[in-house]
Amino acid sequence: MTKKVLALLLACCTVFSLVFCSCSGGEKKFKILEEDFGAELYGIGFRNGDIALGNEVQKHLDDMIADGKMAEISKKWFGADIVLKDADYVEEHEASADDESLQKIKDKGYFIVGLDDSFPPMGYRDENNEIVGFDIDLAKEVAKRMGVEVRFQPIDWNSKELELDGGKIDMIWNGMTITDERVAAMYFAKPYLANTQVVIVPVDSPIQTKADLAGKKISIQEGSSAVDAVTADDIYEQIGELVYFGNNQEAYSDLKIGRVDAFVVDRVAGSYILKTDGTLAE
Would you give the end-to-end CA distance of the chain in angstroms? 34
Size of the chain, expressed as the number of residues it contains: 282
* Cis peptide bond upstream of 121, omega within 30: yes
Q: What is the pLDDT of residue 222?
A: 93
Classify burial at 68, counting beta carbons within 10 Å of its beta carbon; exposed 0-12, middle 13-18, buried 19 or more.
Answer: exposed
* Statement: residue 9 has pLDDT above 60: no
Q: Read off the pLDDT of each residue in 36-65 and give the average, rounded to a whole number.
A: 97
Sign of CA dihedral 56, 57, 62, 68: positive
- Tens digits of residue pLDDT in 67-94: 999 999 999 999 999 999 999 999 999 9
User: Using 50, 70 and 90 to split pLDDT, how confident is the model at 18?
Assistant: very low
- In the chain, where the domains are located: 20-40+196-277, 41-194
Name the percent of the chain lying above pLDDT 90. Answer: 84
Q: What is the pLDDT of residue 6?
A: 47
Q: What is the pLDDT of residue 282?
A: 65
Q: pLDDT higher for 72 or 26? A: 72
Q: Read off the pLDDT of each residue in 162-183 and give the average, rounded to a whole number.
A: 95
- Tens digits of residue pLDDT in 110-147: 999 999 998 999 999 999 999 999 999 999 999 999 99
Q: What is the pLDDT of residue 27?
A: 65
Provide the mean pLDDT of the chain.
Answer: 91
User: Using 50, 70 and 90 to split pLDDT, how confident is the model at 23?
Assistant: very low
Q: Which one is the CATH code of 20-40+196-277: 3.40.190.10, 3.20.20.70, 3.40.1160.10, 3.40.50.1950?
A: 3.40.190.10
- Tens digits of residue pLDDT in 230-260: 999 999 999 999 999 999 999 999 999 999 9
Q: What topology is assigned to 41-194 in CATH?
A: D-Maltodextrin-Binding Protein; domain 2 (3.40.190)
pTM to 2 decimal places: 0.82
- 206-236 burial string, b = 16+ CB within 10 Å, else e? ebeebebbeebbbbbbbbbbbbbbbeebeee
Q: What strands, in cross-sheet order, belong to the sheet with 118-119?
A: 118-119, 123-125, 131-132
Contact 222, 246 (CB under 8 A): yes
Tell me how crowded residue 58 is: count the other CB atoms within 10 A of its CB.
Answer: 21
